[in-house]
Amino acid sequence: MKRLAITIGCALIAALPVANAVGKDQSPEDQTFVNEASRGGKMEVKLGELAERNSASSEVKEFGAHMVKDHTRLNKELGSAATSIGLTVPTDLSEDQKAEYTKLSKLSGESFDKEYIDLMVKDHTEDLAAFQKAESTAQDPKLKMAISSAIPVIQEHLNMAKSDAAKLGPR
């Protein structure tokens, strides 16, 4: 019995460095960021596709196409960085995002355009702040690089959304 206890104790001690090495790369903060950013990016793609179909404005349609193209690329880059360090990338939208998508999918024309662009201004403002914060707190260099390369794209999207919002006028 004593021999079994010593063997188990030695095995547990030997496993500690491995457990610590894995845990180091999988910070809860990084995982939370990846969850939110991945779901947000997926939502941008779905809403961009919706904008291409439901918009009355050529500018909003172009903005939607731009969101699809850029966020598809950003999702891939962030997903690759996350999975390479052992983080999980969510495949579904959150319940709130699903509800927002359903709400917007029932709109078309000018009402869609205003609602969508207002959401894009709000969303990209929040995204920019979240990415800037994550850039300084991310634990892994690969993840940090993916975040850093996304920031100028998100800033560009925010500027585009604000410009489109100004062209569409007040609600």
**SS3 (DSSP) at 164:** helix
Structure tokens at 129: 């702040």
- Mean per-residue pLDDT pooled into runs of 10, the chain (171 residues): 40 37 64 97 98 96 98 97 95 96 97 97 98 95 96 98 90 59
The string of DSSP letters for 83-97 reads HHTT-----S--HHH
**Contact 162/122 with Cβ under 8 angstroms?**
no
CA distances from 40 to 85, 97, 98, 141, 166 (A): 20, 8, 11, 22, 24
Query: Which pLDDT value is given to residue 169?
Result: 80
Query: Which pLDDT value is given to residue 26?
Result: 74
The overall pTM is greater than 0.85: no
For helices 58-84 and 28-54, the axis angle rounded to 10 degrees is 150
Q: Which domains does the chain have, with CATH numbers?
A: 27-168 (1.20.1260.10)
